[in-house]
């Protein structure tokens, strides 16, 4: 059975994952509205991935007989000054998630909760990929700032590789 401290922190993380899914859906809708179909698809896929992370955590709490507490999902940011800001927002979010995932891993380790530590290892590894993906996308978007359709061309060419498919 996971420690109370770990369960509380994981419940908080579940909220952050659902909030991320909500925000990424809003980003995708923004790009859809701006006629950037590949960026929209990329962020719709990211939203599903974040929801999947939350559901994996929900499953873990249920499998271990732990309390599940689903909090409020905040309204996402829906307007942006340009096509680069949503990607910056996503990268900032992923960096924050890395910190919170590391914190969960530390709690599991400190409380000698080997099962939870093992469970969290996947998320630690996943965050390396998540940050690298957003960082690469941001670099491309900033490099072609004046020609935003070049980001679409990049995703058409390298999108599967960027998303890990």
Q: Alpha-carbon Rg of the chain, whole angstroms?
A: 17
CATH value at residue 140: 1.20.1260.10
pLDDT of residue 117: 96
The answer to whether residue 144 is domain-embedded is: yes
pLDDT of residue 1: 87
Query: Which residue range forms the structural domain that includes residue 50?
Result: 4-68+81-162
pLDDT of residue 159: 67
Between CA 117 and CA 6 the distance in angstroms is 10
pLDDT of residue 163: 62
The answer to whether residue 76 is domain-embedded is: no
The answer to whether residue 73 is domain-embedded is: no
Question: And the tokens for 64?
Answer: 């271990």
The answer to whether residue 74 is domain-embedded is: no
- Total count of domains within the chain: 1
Between CA 84 and CA 86 the distance in angstroms is 6
pLDDT tens profile 138-158:
999 999 999 999 999 999 987
Can you tell me whether residue 16 is helix, strand or coil? helix
pLDDT of residue 158: 75
pLDDT of residue 92: 97
The answer to whether residue 75 is domain-embedded is: no
> Would you write out the chain's pLDDT as a tens digit for each of its 165 residues?
899 999 999 999 999 999 999 999 999 999 999 999 999 999 999 999 999 999 999 999 999 999 999 888 999 999 999 999 999 999 999 999 999 999 999 999 999 999 999 999 999 999 999 999 999 999 999 999 999 999 999 999 876 666 655
Between CA 140 and CA 119 the distance in angstroms is 33
pLDDT of residue 72: 87
């Amino acid at each position: 059975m996971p420690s109370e401290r770990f369960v509380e922190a994981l419940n908080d993380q579940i909220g952050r994952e659902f909030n991320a899914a909500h925000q990424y859906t809003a980003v995708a809708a923004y790009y859809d509205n701006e006629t950037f179909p590949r960026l929209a698809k990329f962020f719709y896929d990211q939203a599903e991935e974040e929801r999947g992370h939350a559901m994996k955590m929900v499953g873990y709490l249920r499998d271990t007989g732990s309390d599940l507490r689903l909090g409020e999902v905040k309204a996402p940011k829906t307007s942006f000054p340009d096509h680069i800001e949503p990607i910056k927002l996503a990268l900032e979010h992923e960096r924050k998630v890395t910190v919170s995932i590391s914190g969960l891993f530390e709690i599991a380790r400190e409380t000698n909760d080997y099962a939870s530590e093992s469970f969290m290892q996947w998320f630690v590894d996943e965050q390396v990929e998540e940050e690298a993906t957003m960082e690469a996308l941001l670099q491309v978007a900033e490099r072609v700032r004046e020609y935003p359709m070049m980001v679409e061309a990049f995703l058409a060419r390298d999108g599967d590789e960027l998303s890990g498919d």
